[in-house]
Amino acid sequence: MDKMNVAIINYGVSNLYSVQNACNKVGLTSIITEDHDVIMNSQIAILPGVGAYSEAMKNIKLKKLDKSIFDFISTGKPFYGVCLGMQLLFEESEEFENCKGLGLIKGNVVKFKSNDKEKLIVPHVGWNKILFRNKNYIDSVMNKNKNDDFMYFVHSYHVVPTSKDIELTSTKYQNSIYCSSILKENITAFQFHPEKSGDQGMKIFNEIKDRIT
């Protein structure tokens, strides 16, 4: 098999093919795989995801993809998480029951909560703005994006990183302002779906491509 630009890690969730289509659109060769060697031999790995946290972690462990993820990240090559794939990188989620995550990023995953002034509607579905939190965005694959760019979101839970330093963007949803992307060393992850975010999302995929070609 020819060496792939991108390994899209398959642990039995949806949105695999929409991520692959985005890769194809910018000219990245990609493969949907759960094979350790294929993942390790790729230049980039993407952990996508839509669905339940506990089921996702169960599948990851069953397929021994946690080892593949840890091993790949340890190489220093670029690793990306999308939506649930971002949340799985954290230590724990309160979804359904407290469920341990991969623990690569310190922090937890919590549900959007209403307050006395406003009842929060969940899930958060649709287009929303991003706001850059620190100057790290210049070094990230979002460096062609701008404050107030609209991205597409579908989620009921959001991450709360222990360190604010890794927060790349935040987003306001009704009464809640939350972390919507992170950057830590070779890990970049998005709560939104860049593959479903039109031209603004494709800027990210183009930048991913430009950094390896």
Catalytic positions: 83, 193, 195
Tokens of 37: 């060697």
CB 11 within 8 A of CB 19: no
Distance between CA atoms of residues 47 and 58, nearest Å: 15
Bridge-based pairing of strands 167-173 and 176-184 is: antiparallel
Find the helix packing angle between 16-26 and 198-210, rounded to 10°.
70
- Tell me the CA distances in angstroms from 21 to 15, 26, 207, one per residue in order: 10, 9, 16
- Give me the residue label for tokens 């991108």: 6
Q: What is the 3-state secondary structure (H, E, C) of 29-83?
A: CEEEECCHHHHHHCCEEEECCCCCHHHHHHHHHHCCHHHHHHHHHHCCCCEEEEC
Strand partners, 9: 33
Write out the two tokens for 90: 């954290």
